[in-house]
Every structure is written in structure tokens, then in C-alpha cells.
């Protein structure tokens, strides 16, 4: 029988705040995500339109100084809800492209590599893992959608003054909530699908497919059953309805805002349930 001294002590030093440990995942993920040069190029390209919009807002406001002399500004040149709605639509499409490229590389490789026990044999929960992986997309997509949108709103505020801002305050709210809703939906769908199929390429195809197939199915159901309820399967139509209602613009999607929100929360719930089922430490029974 060996006789042991009890001199071994585990690490007793200070620990970081557990609430922010999920941010360790994006730290390493971004290094990998932006390793290919085309990803950097795509991100830079996603900034062109906001920069163009900023120039447009500046010019238009300074042009309006000139037109205050008596010349009218055509309505299509105005910076209003329609302008910001178009901005969000355009940047939202970029966000979608980035999601199809980045989303599948977040969870699928961990599952394919059986890496979950490596995460969970640490003081790190499944919820933190999902939040950590989601934050990779949420931070990035926010950076090209609602965040530059709010900066543009701020620029317009600084140029047009308080009267314009107080009349259009709802636009800032629409940019924030509409943008966040899109980012959240994209992130959850991407994570859930890549967790479900495990293969990156297939997951990327599936993310594209969910939007395409959903739209097709919606049209089919609507035509066959002579209803609009099928539109609740069409993610693009759901988001268009939400955005239009947020920007207080009339929409022709066939969905009421309430129905769109219901469908939105239902899809998010399904995605969370899929993640709950798949994100578990692998149980290897020998």
C-alpha cells in the first residue's frame, strides 16, 4: 500500500466572471472564420452600402440647405422609413449570405469531431456553449445590419435636427428590433441546422434551402388551400411583415404582424429544441 503525502493543491487563484466566459468561443471562432481572404473581402463589401448611405444622407441634408431657398426635393430622395427599410433589406441580404458561409462552421465541426466533452468537462454549460456560438454570428451580423443602421439614423439626426428625429423616432426602434430579430433568426436557424446534420456543406445548403423551400411550400399551400396561412412557413415573408410593421409601411405579404411574430417565435422555439436535443456531451458507453 502506497503512503501519500497530501501536498497536492488545485489552482487557488482568481477566476474570471463566469457570465462572460461564453465570449471565449467567438475569440477563437473569428480567427478561423476570417482565415480565408474572401471572407474578409465579403465583410468589407458589406460596409460599402452603409458608407454610401452615409454619404447620401450628408449630401441630401446639405442639398436641402440649398433647396430651402425654394426648390423642392423629390420624394424618392427623402431619408425616411422607406429609406431605412431598404437599407435593412439590403444589409439583411448580406447578413444572410454571411450566415450561409459562417453558420455551418460553428457547431457542425464540433459535433463531427466529438468535441463537446472537451467543452463540457469545464465549468461551461450547454446554454453557454449555444450562446457563445451564437454570439459569433450575432456580433458579426449586428455589425452590418442594425448597428450601422442606427449610426445612419444618428447621422440623419445630427444633420436634420430634433424636429425630424422626434417625428421619426420609431425608425430607430424599427432598425434595432427589426435588425435584431433577423440576426437572431438567422443565427438560430444556422446553428440548429448545422447541429442537426453535422456536415458543413450540407448545413450550408440546408440554410439556403430552408428559405427557398419555405417560400415554395408557402406558395403551394396558399394556392391549394386558398389561404394566407401558408406564408407562415416562408421566413423571408415573415421577416418582411415584421419589418414593414416596425417601419410602419404597408405590406403586401398576406400576413398580419401578429401572425408573423407568432411564426417567428415558433421557428425560434423549434430551433432551440433542436439545439437542446443535439448539444449534449457525447455519451460513449463502453
Partner 1 sequence: MTDRIVFEDVSRFYGEVLGVNKINLSIPPGITSLVGPNASGKTTLMNLMTGLVRPSKGKILVRGVRPDEPEALFKLLGYATQFDSFPRGLTGFQYVHSSLLLNGMAEQEAERKAWAAIERVNLVEAAKRKVDAYSKGMRQRIRLAQAIAHEPVVMVLDEPLNGLDPLVRSETIALFRESAARGAHVLVSSHVLHEVDMISDQVILLANGYVVAEGAIRGVREEISDKPLEIVVRCDQPARMAAALFAHDHMVEARLHADGLGLMLKTKSPSTFHKQLNRLALDGIEIESVAPADEDVNALYEYLIGEEGGTK
Q: Which residues of the chain form contacts with partner 1 (CB under 8 A)?
A: 1-2, 4-11, 13-16, 18, 21, 24, 28, 32, 109-110, 112-125, 281-286
Q: What's the CA gap between 220 and 151, in Å, rounded?
A: 40
Q: Which is nearer to partner 1, 22 or 96 (CB)?
A: 22
Q: How far is the CB of 286 from partner 1 (least distance, A)?
A: 4
Answer whether 119's CB lies under 8 Å from 21's CB.
no
- Closest CB 189 distance from partner 1, rounded Å: 22
Terminal-to-terminal C-alpha distance of the chain: 30
Asked if 136 and 102 touch (Cβ cutoff 8 Å), the reply is: yes
Which residue lies nearer to partner 1 by CB, 9 or 37? 9
How many CA atoms does the CB half-sphere of 219 hold within 13 Å? 6
Minimum separation from the CB atom of position 190 to partner 1 (A): 17
Neighbour-count burial of 34, counting CB atoms closer than 10 A to its CB (0-12 exposed, 13-18 middle, 19+ buried): middle
- Comparison of 116 and 235: residue with beta carbon closer to partner 1: 116
For residue 105, the minimal CB distance to partner 1 (Å) is 8
Cβ-based nearer residue to partner 1, 194 or 253: 194
Q: How many whole angstroms from its chain centre is CA 197?
A: 21
Amino acid at each position: 500500500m502506497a503512503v501519500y503525502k497530501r501536498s497536492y493543491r488545485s489552482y487557488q487563484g482568481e477566476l474570471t466572471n463566469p457570465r462572460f466566459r461564453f465570449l471565449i468561443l467567438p475569440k477563437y471562432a473569428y480567427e478561423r472564420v476570417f482565415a480565408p481572404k474572401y471572407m474578409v473581402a465579403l465583410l468589407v463589401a458589406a460596409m460599402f452600402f452603409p458608407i454610401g448611405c452615409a454619404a447620401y444622407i450628408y449630401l441630401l441634408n446639405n442639398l436641402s440647405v440649398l433647396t430651402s431657398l425654394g426648390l423642392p426635393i423629390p420624394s424618392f430622395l427623402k431619408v425616411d422609413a422607406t429609406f431605412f427599410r431598404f437599407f435593412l433589406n439590403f444589409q439583411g441580404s448580406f447578413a444572410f449570405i454571411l450566415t450561409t458561409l459562417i453558420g455551418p462552421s460553428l457547431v457542425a465541426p464540433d459535433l463531427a469531431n466529438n468535441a463537446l466533452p472537451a467543452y463540457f468537462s469545464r465549468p461551461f454549460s450547454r446554454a453557454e456553449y449555444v450562446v457563445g456560438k451564437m454570439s459569433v454570428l450575432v456580433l458579426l451580423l449586428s455589425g452590418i445590419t442594425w448597428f450601422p443602421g442606427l449610426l445612419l439614423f444618428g447621422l440623419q439626426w445630427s444633420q436634420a435636427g430634433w424636429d425630424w428625429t422626434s417625428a421619426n423616432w420609431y425608425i430607430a426602434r424599427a432598425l434595432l428590433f427589426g435588425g435584431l430579430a433577423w440576426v437572431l433568426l438567422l443565427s438560430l436557424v444556422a446553428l440548429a441546422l448545422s447541429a442537426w446534420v453535422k456536415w458543413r456543406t450540407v448545413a450550408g445548403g440546408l440554410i439556403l434551402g430552408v428559405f427557398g423551400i419555405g417560400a415554395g411550400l408557402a406558395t403551394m399551400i396558399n394556392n391549394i388551400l386558398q389561404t394566407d396561412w401558408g406564408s407562415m412557413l416562408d421566413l423571408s415573408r415573415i421577416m418582411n411583415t415584421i419589418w414593414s410593421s416596425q417601419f410602419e409601411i404597408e405590406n403586401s405579404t398576406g400576413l398580419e404582424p401578429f401572425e408573423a411574430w407568432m411564426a417567428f417565435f415558433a421557428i425560434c422555439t423549434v430551433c432551440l429544441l433542436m439545439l437542446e436535443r443535439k448539444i449534449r456531451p457525447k455519451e460513449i458507453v463502453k
